[in-house]
A and B are shown apart, each in its own frame.
Chain A
Amino acid sequence: MAETLTAFGWVVMLSMIITLWCASIVALRKTLSEEDKKAELITKQGAIESYSPRALFELREWIENHPNDPYREIAVQRYNECVETLKEIDEPFYDWNDSQISDLERL
């Protein structure tokens, strides 16, 4: 058995450090800042929208393409809730701009 780290050993060790410790720190910082922002907005305006622009457009597309799906009703309910909230609140949580919000309509 080798008594020192080989070149591959260094690669494995550094890869573990980057993909675990560095990734944990970045992810933790991201989630803490996002959750703080969520809590602040909920305290300030009582609610936040539930989908990002990309996620809501994807939800709408899915609803339109699946008219007979057993989950369609739940999907429409969630879509409409998000649209209503976006129209009511002053500051969205996700990166919505005013024109995107004004173009939105309930289903």
Chain B
Amino acid sequence: MALIGAVVGSGNIWRMPYVAGMNGGGAFLVIYLVLLYLIAVPGLMAETLLGRYTQRGVIGAFKNFLGEGWSEGLGLVVVIVNIGLMSYYAPVIAWTIYYLAHAVLGTFYQPGFDPTAFWAAFSGSPLLVVGLHTLVAVLVGFVLLFGISDGIERVVKWMIPALVVTLSAVAIKGLTLPGAMEGLAFAFNPEWEYMTDANTWIAALGQALFSTGLGWGIALTYGSYLGKNDDVPLGGGLITAVGNTSIGLLAIFTVFPAVFAFGLEPTTGAELTFVSLVSIFPSMTGGYIWGLLFFLGFLFATYSSGLGITEVGVTTVKEETRLTRTQSVIAVVGAWWLLGIPSAYSSEFLGWMDFMFGNFGLPLATLMILILVGWVIDSKRARILDLNHNSDVYIGSYWDPIIKYVIPTVMVFIMGYYFATNIEDPRAISGLALMGGLTIGSILLMQFIRRGKTNEPALTPGGD
């Protein structure tokens, strides 16, 4: 349940509608659904079992099976991608704080309120956006430093259901508005030309990983906290992936009817959820309360995700360096705060970072984890020895080739297809450079740090 709490956040409510809107609606959702069950569900089982077996952070898990040296760089890729993702996730938390404050003040209910102009004024104020980004860094650092994450998680357990109720109420209202059907048609009617477009496939792959948390190192880190009697396949795999995406589907039912009812543009970009939802609250009975509940629930969801994401880096840095937990928190939060300033300053830069890290960084990190489980540990051995250990459902031998062959092949094919058809697009070249630079740089860095050390892999489970 803690893993679901960590992953339910902006990936489903903020990112899913905007990425679907920019990639053909229905066609994107069909591809997304296929990749969810083909990649995210079995992949999350693999990532979670890796954490439960080793009881270590990301680099420690790689070291457990590959020994010390350059190969730890493959784990470092996951940590760097995680910090890169958090660098632009934090500004989204900052937006939520700003919108919550205005939900309290009742700004959205003033006569003549224009959601698009409101967004433009907010995002055009560097002091405000960078200041709020800094506030998020302080709030995340504070909770992780003083170890009160458990308290936040307890609140989140109540806030997530409240958020679901609020989204449902807004969706019901949205579906009764004139033009709502056009929103559903946009969201679900598949436009077939998008089905063969490499951009749709790469976006759906990125979203399947982003919204379920696969490849972030979160499942691995939470898996390392699991007890020996805890189940992995159902809780860590199926429910985490499908449960989170269920909230994304609810967000689609909430956002698109509103977008069309209020004449907004579905391909607006990163701010789509914020702009569309504040349009709908004033037309609802008790709109002030619904708006307040939504932004409060959304803030807790994104904030708890921010804590979960940051914990991946903190656990790893503390394990692998001589830094104390306090120093590790300061180092990791400081890193994503600094890296996140351009994203806080410009939502266009944030969109670019999201495209790069979501569509290229995350698949790369996921490949590192799945190659470790599929080829180094061997997926059959991992399943027989650990995945079915205390599991609530039996996972059969079909899982072995999915992890070892199918997922890597499908992911490499989607990325290859994208690069082949977009070779002149600067974004494709940047994506290739990011993947190559991350892999080579991480391996060289770990080789340099571990020079002279030749410890053999431990292979044994940790703390079991």
Q: What residues of chain A have their CB less than 8 Å away from a CB belonging to chain B?
A: 1-6, 8-10, 12-13, 15-17, 19-21, 23-24, 27-28, 30-31, 34-35, 38, 42, 48, 50-52, 54-55, 58-59, 62, 69-71, 74-75, 78
A27 contacts B239, C-beta separation under 8 Å: yes
A20 to B211, CA, bound (A): 13
Within 8 Å by CB of B388, from A4, A15, A52, lies: A52
B182 contacts A3, C-beta separation under 8 Å: yes
B190 CB within 8 Å of chain A: yes
B185 contacts A15, C-beta separation under 8 Å: no
A69 to B460, CA, bound (A): 13
Q: Main SS of the interface on chain A?
A: helix
Binds A, one of B197-205, B215-223, B391-399, B406-414: B391-399
A19 contacts B33, C-beta separation under 8 Å: yes
A4 to B188, CA, bound (A): 10
Binds A, one of B54-62, B71-79, B241-249, B428-436: B241-249
B298: A residues at CB distance < 8 A: none
Residues of chain B from 232 to 264 with CB closer than 8 A to chain A in the complex: 234-235, 238-239, 242-243, 245-246, 249
Question: Chain A CB within 10 Å — which of B187, B390, B460 has the most?
Answer: B390
A30 contacts B234, C-beta separation under 8 Å: yes
Within 8 Å by CB of A5, from B30, B184, B242, lies: B184
What 0/1 readout, one digit per residue, does chain B (330-365) give for beta carbons within 8 Å of chain A? 000000000000000000000000000000000000
List 19 A-B pairs, Cβ < 8 Å.
A2-B185, A4-B181, A5-B189, A12-B189, A13-B187, A16-B29, A16-B188, A19-B33, A19-B37, A20-B33, A24-B242, A28-B239, A30-B234, A48-B390, A50-B229, A51-B389, A52-B388, A62-B380, A69-B381
The 4 closest A-B pairs by CB, nearest first: A55-B388, A9-B189, A34-B392, A13-B188
Query: Taking the nearest CB of chain A, how far is it from the CB of B285, in angstroms?
Result: 25
B229: A residues at CB distance < 8 A: 38, 42, 48, 50
Closest to A39 in B: B229
Within 8 Å by CB of B234, from A3, A19, A27, lies: A27
Query: Taking the nearest CB of chain B, how far is it from the CB of A76, in angstroms?
Result: 11
Q: Main SS of the interface on chain B?
A: helix
Closest to B179 in A: A3
Within 8 Å by CB of A3, from B37, B181, B394, lies: B181
B242 contacts A27, C-beta separation under 8 Å: yes
Told that A5-B188, A5-B189 touch, could you supply 19 new A-B pairs with CB distance under 8 A? Answer: A1-B182, A9-B185, A12-B29, A16-B33, A23-B242, A24-B243, A24-B246, A27-B238, A28-B239, A31-B234, A31-B239, A38-B229, A50-B229, A50-B390, A52-B394, A55-B389, A62-B380, A69-B381, A78-B389
B461 CB within 8 Å of chain A: yes
B242: A residues at CB distance < 8 A: 19-20, 23-24, 27
A59 to B386, CA, bound (A): 10
Query: Taking the nearest CB of chain B, how far is it from the CB of A65, in angstroms?
Result: 11
Closest to B53 in A: A74
Question: Quick one: given A31-B235, A35-B231, A54-B394, are A20 and B184 in contact (CB under 8 Å)?
Answer: no
B459 CB within 8 Å of chain A: yes
Closest to A42 in B: B229
A64 to B203, CA, bound (A): 45
A74 to B459, CA, bound (A): 9
B188 contacts A58, C-beta separation under 8 Å: no
Closest to B266 in A: A1
A103 to B246, CA, bound (A): 45
B385 CB within 8 Å of chain A: yes
Question: Quick one: given A6-B185, A52-B394, A71-B459, are A62 and B384 in contact (CB under 8 Å)?
Answer: yes
A88 to B239, CA, bound (A): 32
A9 contacts B459, C-beta separation under 8 Å: no
B206 CB within 8 Å of chain A: no
A52: B residues at CB distance < 8 A: 388, 391, 394
A31 to B239, CA, bound (A): 9
Query: Taking the nearest CB of chain A, how far is it from the CB of B63, in angstroms?
Result: 16
A55 contacts B391, C-beta separation under 8 Å: yes
B460: A residues at CB distance < 8 A: 74
Query: Taking the nearest CB of chain B, how far is it from the CB of A5, in angstroms?
Result: 5
A30: B residues at CB distance < 8 A: 234, 392-393
Within 8 Å by CB of B33, from A3, A8, A15, lies: A15
A70 to B385, CA, bound (A): 12
B249 contacts A21, C-beta separation under 8 Å: yes
A74 contacts B189, C-beta separation under 8 Å: no
